[in-house]
Amino acid sequence: MASKSIFRVIFHNQGNIYEVYAHEVSQGAMYAFVEVGEIMFGERSKVVVDPSDEKLKSEFAGVKRTYIPLQAIVRIDEVEKEGQAKIMPAGDTKTGNVSAFPMPIKPPLTD
């Protein structure tokens, strides 16, 4: 049996940058959303526990697939093997120069 592809999805959510790994990533049926399914987490038998990984596991517990707004996506990569899922503050220096996609500013309405 052929092995499934593994995708690393990095996105903004409530002031944090999430990095998750999944087997399915596609343009969902909902316009302007990316559909992420079969989210992967490391095995639970580890002796060392990462708090951000545990937070992600509890946040996505019971989720079959999630829909992420297109403007929240920072990057999607197809990788060879699963890495550590994590949550980082958006201002973290380890992430480099990651920022939200600029949104157009509407001029004020004049009478």
Cβ pair 36, 69 in contact under 8 A: no
Assess if residue 54 is contained within a domain: yes
Assess if residue 105 is contained within a domain: no
Assess if residue 39 is contained within a domain: yes
Percent of the chain with pLDDT over 90: 32
- What tens digit of pLDDT does each residue of 30-61 get? 888 999 998 887 665 556 666 767 788 888 88
Assess if residue 102 is contained within a domain: no
Instruction: Please tell me what DSSP assigns to residue 30.
Output: S
Q: How far is CA 8 from CA 36, 45, 62, 74, 79, in A?
A: 10, 22, 20, 11, 7
Assess if residue 107 is contained within a domain: no
Assess if residue 98 is contained within a domain: no
Assess if residue 5 is contained within a domain: no
Range of the domain at 67: 10-93
Q: How many domains does the structure of the chain reveal?
A: 1
Cα distance between residue 88 and residue 90, in whole Å: 6
- What tens digit of pLDDT does each residue of 58-111 get? 888 888 889 999 999 999 999 998 888 888 888 755 545 656 666 666 677 776
Cα distance between residue 59 and residue 65, in whole Å: 12
Assess if residue 106 is contained within a domain: no
